[in-house]
Structure 1
Amino acid sequence: MTISRSTRRLLAAVTGLVLVVLYAPLALVVVNSFNTSQALTWPPSGFTTQWWQRAAVNPGAHDAILTSLTVAACATVMALVLGTLLGLAMQRYSFFGKDTVNLLVVLPIALPGIVTGIALSNAFSSILGVRLGFFTLVVAHATFCIVTVFNNVQARLRRMGGNLEEASADLGAGMWTTFRLVTLPQLRSALLAGGLLAFALSFDEIIVTTFAAGPGVTTLPVWILTNLFRPGQAPIVNVVAVVMIVVSVAPIWLAQRLSSDPTDTTRAIH
Structure 2
Amino acid sequence: MRSAASDQPVRSPAVQLSRSARIALRVAAGCGFAAIYVPLALVLVNSFNSDRSASWPPSGLTLHWWSVAWGSEGARAALWVSVKAGLGATAIALLLGTLIAFAVARHRFFGRDAISFVVVLPIALPGIVTGIALNSAFSTVLEPLGVGLGMFTVVVGHATFCIVVVFNNVVARLRRTSGSYEEAAMDLGANTFRAFADVTFPLVRSALLAGGLLAFALSFDEIVVTTFTAGPGIETLPIWIFNNMTRPQQAPVVNVVAAVLVLLSVLPIYVAQRLSADTATESRI
Q: 2:207 corresponds to which letter in structure 1?
A: A
Paired residue type of 1:207: V
From 82, 93, 110, the equivalent of 2:124 is 110
Post-superposition offset of 1:265: 5.8
Match of 1:222 among 239, 248, 252: 239
1:80 pairs, out of 94, 98, 106, with 94
The aligned residue for residue 8 of structure 2 is none
Q: How does 1:1-270 map to 2 (within 5 A)?
A: 1-129=15-143, 130-261=147-278, 262-264=280-282
Is the contact between residue 50 and residue 58 of structure 2 (CA under 8 Å) also seen in structure 1?
yes
Checking the alignment, whether the CA contact within 8 Å between 1:117 and 1:208 is kept in structure 2 is: yes
Residue 260 of structure 1 deviates from its aligned partner by 1.7
Residue type of the partner of 1:258?
L
CA shift, 1:266, in A, is: 9.5
Residues of 2 paired with 1:212 and 1:198: CA distance?
Answer: 18
Deviation >4 Å, runs of 4+: 264-267
Q: Which stretch has the larger CA shift, 165-174 or 26-35?
A: 165-174
C-alpha displacement of 1:257? 1.0
Amino acid of the structure 2 residue aligned with 1:124: F
Give the count of matched residue pairs: 267
Deviation, 1:18, is 1.1
1:12-71 CA-partner distances (Å, limit 9, x unpaired): 111111111111100110111111222243222222211111001000000000110111
> Which structure 1 segments of 5+ residues have no match?
none
Matches of 2:54 and 2:64 in 1, distance apart? 16
> Which amino acid counterpart does residue 141 of structure 1 have in structure 2?
H
Q: Is the 8 A contact 1:83 1:147 kept in 2?
A: yes
Q: Distance in 2 between matches of 1:221 and 1:110?
A: 21
| Cα displacement (A) at 1:127 | 2.6
What letter matches 1:8 in structure 2?
R
What is the distance in 2 between the residues matched to 1:253 and 1:218?
27
Larger displacement relative to structure 2 (128-137 or 108-117): 128-137
Deviation by residue 1:92-137 (Cα, 9 ceiling, x = unmatched): 1111211111111111111100000111111111233230000110
Percent identical residues: 58
Aligned counterparts of 2:95 and 2:140: Cα–Cα separation in 1: 28
Which secondary structure does the structure 2 equivalent of 1:229 belong to? coil
1:176 Cα shift? 1.3
Once the two structures are superposed, residues 241-263 of structure 1 have per-residue CA deviations (whole angstroms, 9 ceiling, x without a partner) of: 01000100110011011112234
**For the residues of structure 1 that align with 2:262 and 2:124, how far apart are their CA atoms?**
23
Say what the alpha-carbon RMSD is for the aligned residues: 1.4
Q: 1:265 to 1:186 in 2, by over 3 A?
A: farther
Unaligned runs of 5+ in 2: 1-14
What one-letter code is carried by the residue in structure 2 that aligns with 1:140?
G
Higher-Rg structure is 2
Decide whether the 8 Å contact of 2:53 with 2:248 is kept in 1: no
TM-score by length of structure 1 reads 0.95
| Counterparts of 1:47 and 1:93, CA distance in 2 | 60
Amino acid at match of 1:42: W
Distance, in Å, in 2 between the alignment partners of 1:191 and 1:265 is 15
CA contact (8 A) 1:189 1:265 kept: no
